[in-house]
Amino acid sequence: MLTQLLACTDANIKKAADCIRNGGLVAFPTETVYGLGANGLDKTAVASIFSAKQRPADNPLILHVNSIFKAEELCDFTTNAKTLAKLYWPGPLTMLLNKKPIVPDITTAKLSTVAVRMPRHPVALKLIEYSACPIAAPSANRSGKPSPTTAKHVLDDLNGRVNYILDGGSSEVGLESTVIDMTLDVPCIYRPGAVTPEEISMVLGECEVSAGVMRDIPQNAHAPSPGMRHRHYAPKAPMCLIKGKPEAIASYIRDNFQSGDCILAMEENLCLYEGLPVESMGKNAQEAAHRLFYLLRQMDERNVKRIFTETLPENGLGLAVMNRLARAASFHIVSL
Ligand code: TXA
Ligand code: MG
Q: Is the distance from the beta carbon of residue 141 to the nearest atom of ligand 1 less than 6 Å?
A: no
* CA gap 300, 241 in Å, rounded: 17
Please tell me the predicted confidence (pLDDT) of residue 51.
96
pTM beyond cutoff 0.85: yes
User: Which of 176, 191, 222 for mutating ligand 1's site (highest number of atoms within 8 Å of CB)?
Assistant: 176
Is CATH 3.90.870.10 the right assignment for the domain spanning 4-213? yes
DSSP for 143-195 reads TTSPPPSSHHHHHHHHTTS-SEEEE--S-SS-SPPEEEE-SSSS-EEEE--SS
The closest ligand to the CA of 142 turns out to be 2
The atom number, within ligand 1, closest to the CA of 139 reads 14
pLDDT in tens, 130-173: 999 999 999 999 888 899 999 999 999 999 999 999 999 999 99
Please tell me the predicted confidence (pLDDT) of residue 221.
78
Domain ranges of the chain: 4-213, 239-335
The atom number, within ligand 1, closest to the CA of 64 reads 7
Q: Is the distance from the beta carbon of residue 48 to the nearest atom of ligand 1 less than 6 Å?
A: no
> What are residue 67's phi and psi, to 5 degrees?
-165, 160
Q: Is the distance from the beta carbon of residue 104 to the nearest atom of ligand 1 less than 6 Å?
A: no
Fold match, 4-213 / 239-335:
no
Q: Is the distance from the beta carbon of residue 30 to the nearest atom of ligand 1 less than 6 Å?
A: yes
Burial call 35-55: b when 16+ CB within 10 Å, e when fewer: bbbbbbbbeebbebbbebbeb
- The DSSP bridge pattern shows strands 188-191 and 208-209 to be parallel
pLDDT in tens, 250-303: 999 999 999 999 999 999 999 999 999 999 999 999 999 999 999 999 999 999
SS3 label, residue 117? strand
H or E stretch at 116: strand 113-117
> What are residue 134's phi and psi, to 5 degrees?
-65, 135
Q: Read off the pLDDT band of 231 (50, 70, 90).
A: low
**Among 96, 334, 103, CA closest to 228:** 96
Please tell me the predicted confidence (pLDDT) of residue 235.
87
> What are residue 44's phi and psi, to 5 degrees?
-70, -40
Q: Read off the pLDDT band of 232 (50, 70, 90).
A: low
**Among 47, 36, 34, 65, CA closest to 133:** 65
CATH dotted code for 239-335: 3.40.50.11030
C-beta atoms surrounding 142 within 10 Å = 15
* CA gap 310, 43 in Å, rounded: 43
